[in-house]
Structure 1
């Protein structure tokens, strides 16, 4: 096992549970894999896939972080290509029962960075373990009143302290928030709403 500074990125499909309960299994078995594949193939900064978790992908990248703007552009690409695929799927399966639930799906993205990450080879996959992996997953449970957003933990932003971080991305402003989690304490983060990217 090796412990290294690691970027964790989790694109997570919001509305997944509702979609699965309101849609027949044949349609959901076509739609969800197509959306997850679109996200995987939109990766342009060398992220690796650790796990596919039903409605989410656990990406990671060990070693130096990419430039901040490259990281933001990658998340923007995940989001826009996800919605392009949603539109394609809506048209492709327009005659199927339950397709009206597809537009209700959204995407949220979690970015976290930590040094307490260990990687273990299980089969042909790398399993990530450690407190920072737990933190990244816990950050999916927050008080943000949006279905589409990019959440960046304080630990990620601190890695770019020598860079000038523009808090206005042109399509949204970073807003500071925080949560208290049992056993983990206070976790601070910033987030930006991503819905404006569709306008």
Structure 2
């Protein structure tokens, strides 16, 4: 039987500066550094993506999910990049090694190319490989002139096909139009996100997380589902509405991208609660300010966090911030009613996500190259290059 064509999103995470880095430094720590950073990025992309294979200085990932929320997919790409930047910063602060590789690790960066199209799986060299015109296209798009447009090496380049499949408005979201001409394929319309600018903006954000230590009250639930799945069902209105007892949930995101400033209007009969997002850290936590339709009601601040549990499970925590003394009685009453509703709703959420398979996919993921962390624990001295 011929392989069956499947629709898929493809993404390539490519290390910028890789060739110059390896050519100018000792290999003792260079390979460890590359493996460490690549592992951080690939883990950040999972899910919704799966690893197809490593390609030297790049990781090729894909997902055959029929529908992916546009905000979730962009959060996965940008979140993976932000994790790399945080890891780079932490490593540079922690490392005492002065070898050329460790000194030059700051020259490394990442760029991402994202496309939507069709593929087939075929056996090559004893394992399954992805093949097809769109697989070729996403690889050819790595060679482009985008760096000249954004003035740097860190960017996410979305094909117009990916943008349309996600159902997002690229102009409203501040993406920059771009055009490339690919041999045989022809002109390709693309959209660019400057990841350096996105990182600077995210890093400068004031965090408003209600921690466990600072919380006035905490509700917590163990859910036998991956963290990304739980995150999707508590943030995407269409999924959220399936298990929460609201008559309707209307999202107001301005630019069409979920994040700080997004407002959700939760209708309950003739009353509507308004939740404004004050802090947004996918897929770890988000903090909201809740305005209830009660005269004189105080604004309730709550962080909703999703943490990794054992064996692929998750823990969902709702942490309510401490009220002012004059608001304590009101909050106690509201929190008690909310806890009752949430406990009942959890049964519905669990039934939807526990045991839920992300999609049939028999391809085995390749193992990442291990990093021993020697660049942190075993400093080496730069020697003469012969």
Q: Is 1:165 the equivalent of 2:166?
A: no
Q: Secondary structure at the match of 2:105?
A: helix
Match of 2:234 in 1: none
Residues 59-98 of structure 1 correspond to what in structure 2 (within 5 A)?
A: 59-98=61-100
Match of 1:190 in 2: 191
Residues 84-163 of structure 1 correspond to what in structure 2 (within 5 A)?
A: 84-98=86-100, 99-115=102-118, 117-122=119-124, 125-144=127-146, 145=148, 146-160=152-166, 163=167
CA shift for structure 1 position 192: 1.2
Q: Secondary structure at the match of 1:2?
A: coil
Q: Secondary structure at the match of 1:57?
A: strand
CA shift for structure 1 position 150: 0.6
Structure 2: state its 5+ residue gaps.
201-386
Q: CA RMSD, aligned part only?
A: 1.9
Match of 1:3 in 2: 5
Q: Secondary structure at the match of 1:10?
A: strand
CA shift for structure 1 position 125: 5.0
Residues 163 and 170 in structure 2, CA contact (< 8 A), matched pair in contact too? no
CA shift for structure 1 position 63: 3.6
Match of 2:37 in 1: 35
CA shift for structure 1 position 62: 1.1
Instruction: After superposition, give the CA deviation of every residue in 1:76-122 in whole Å (9 maximum; x if it has no partner).
Output: 1111011112223323443231122111111111100112x111245
In structure 2, distance between residues paired with 1:65 and 1:108: 24
Runs (4+) off by over 6 Å: none
Match of 1:14 in 2: 16
Change in Cα spacing, 1:96 to 1:123, as seen in structure 2 (3 Å) is: farther
Q: Secondary structure at the match of 1:94?
A: coil
In structure 2, distance between residues paired with 1:166 and 1:183: 27
How many pairs does the alignment contain?
193
Looking at CA atoms only, which structure, 1 or 2, has the larger radius of gyration? 2
Identify which of structures 1 and 2 has the higher relative contact order when contacts are C-alpha pairs closer than 8 Å and 6+ apart: 1
In structure 2, distance between residues paired with 1:57 and 1:184: 23
Change in Cα spacing, 1:164 to 1:9, as seen in structure 2 (3 Å) is: closer
Match of 2:50 in 1: 48
Match of 2:249 in 1: none
Residues 160 and 191 in structure 2, CA contact (< 8 A), matched pair in contact too? yes
In structure 2, distance between residues paired with 1:53 and 1:166: 29
Change in Cα spacing, 1:59 to 1:125, as seen in structure 2 (3 Å) is: farther
Superposition TM-score, scaled by structure 2 size: 0.47
Q: Is 1:176 the equivalent of 2:177?
A: yes
Superposition TM-score, scaled by structure 1 size: 0.89
